[in-house]
Amino acid sequence: MAGTVSALFLLDIKGHVLIWRDYRGDVSATQAEGFFMKLIEKEVDPQFQNPVVYDNGVTYMFIQHNNVYLMTASRQNCNAASLLLFLHRVVDVFKHYFLELEEESLRDNFVVVYELLDEVMDFGFPQYTEARILSEFIKTDAYRMEVAQRPPMAVTNAVSWRSQGIQYNKNEVFLDVVESVNILVNSNGQIIRSEVVGALKMRTYLSGMPECKLGLNDRLLLEAEGRTSKGKAIDLDDIKFHQCVRLARFENDRTISFIPPDGSFDLMTYRLSTQVKPLIWVEALVERHSKSRIEILLKARSQFKERSTATNVEIELPVPSDATKPIVRTSMGNATYAPENDALIWKIKSFPGNKEYMLRTEFFLPSVTAEEAGPDRKAPVRVKFEIPYFTISGIQVRYLKIIEKSGYHALPWVRYITMAGEYELRLM
């Protein structure tokens, strides 16, 4: 990482320094507090500000969590993305110790906070941010902190994210391929935003120090192996790996090789910006009867193959804030009026592929309304769903191998699920 951090600050919601750790002695707490209070005085709230700000020879990078700001300061040219990720990892460490990171938890545990700040960063260089490893030699209880006599093996070992000597009676690996579909459709039925955000989420319960190898239907990997894709390969873009993955190996031959952490972690995330067909399409037909009564016919159609089924489908239809309780009829599922959200919620537990269901609702408006009032709101129709055993990108796990020197047999479990992310249709 280019550049080093001069100091790390924990500030309250008003910009006052609660706790800080000076690593290099060239940025004072008074200087940092003065900068941040000037930032708060601006019209834009800090949480909507650029998280990287240069001021008077110092680069500040900060994030907000609840009523606490975490901020680094440096006089050197630092890698902003790495440091912002580091701050988020520090939040995870504090939450592991205190359950929740707030101003009160920092004040109540300031001794532990200083100990953690000394471990997560050394002379301005990020070090260990794995909470499970830190908890092996920084132990806390309700009243005091105990420090082990010697650091755990993971600190002195090349594999800093995993301890040695882990044992399980049953060795298992669970891999979930989770994809979220983000769709935005305008009032003319045109798709103006479409992307797929995916993650490979793992839970490992493995003894010893296992070596794992994962193979996907990645087009470049198949070509490197001399295999033909036959239309089933995909092009992965914007890939981000957990630190356990050997990046040099992946760059050379696209092999995902790693020694996994113990427990749950995200092995890989990716994004596909190619346009995808909306999995559930919604159309609305509005019929006005004078200015006091409106009927809406809503059609929902699943646009995926019949062998797949969407579950827990929710379609949120916006209605005027001054509407009375609607009269609703549905061909499938049930609908409830949610006046606190100014919406009608249509729920369908099971929605098979290549099916169409309808909802017809009628509601009344007050006899006296403003000219701009009415159902022509700009609030979109929002859709939620989950489709198990299905990925919209077509990603497939070709193999998952677990090799450990003791030679035990591990059981890998793989499942797929696609869900709605920011899925909105501006139909009204």
Compute the average pLDDT of residues 35-58. 74
- Whether the Cβ atoms of residue 233 and residue 218 lie closer than 8 Å to each other: yes
- CA–CA separation, 179 and 176 (whole Å): 10
Give residue 281's pLDDT.
Answer: 94
Higher pLDDT, 366 or 105: 105
Is beta strand 327-330 parallel, antiparallel or unpaired with respect to 280-289?
unpaired
Q: Is 129 exposed, middle or buried (0-12, 13-18, 19+ CB in 10 A)?
A: buried
Percentage of the chain modeled with pLDDT above 90: 32
Highest mean pLDDT: which of 10-14, 67-71, 122-126, 357-361?
A: 357-361
Q: Is the pLDDT of residue 147 over 60?
A: no
Give residue 146's pLDDT.
Answer: 41
Q: Is the pLDDT of residue 145 over 50?
A: no
Q: Is the pLDDT of residue 1 over 60?
A: no
- CA–CA separation, 419 and 196 (whole Å): 10
Identical fold, 7-156 and 280-388: no
Q: Is the pLDDT of residue 101 over 80?
A: yes
The residue assigned the tokens 């060795």 is 171
Arch. (CATH architecture) of 280-388? Sandwich (2.60)
Compute the average pLDDT of residues 290-315. 90
First-to-last alpha carbon distance for the chain, in angstroms, is 50
Give residue 232's pLDDT.
Answer: 62
Q: Is the pLDDT of residue 81 over 50?
A: yes
CA 81 to chain centre: 16
Give residue 211's pLDDT.
Answer: 92
pLDDT tens digits, 166-213 = 999 999 999 999 999 999 998 888 888 888 999 999 999 999 999 999
pLDDT grade for 226, boundaries at 50, 70 and 90: low
- CATH for the stretch 7-156: 3.30.450.60
Give residue 228's pLDDT.
Answer: 52
Domain ranges in the chain are 7-156, 172-276+392-425, 280-388
Check: pTM over 0.75? Answer yes or no: no
Give residue 267's pLDDT.
Answer: 94
Give residue 348's pLDDT.
Answer: 96
Is beta strand 191-205 parallel, antiparallel or unpaired with respect to 381-388?
unpaired
Higher pLDDT, 234 or 318: 318
Give residue 220's pLDDT.
Answer: 59
- CATH for the stretch 172-276+392-425: 2.60.40.1170
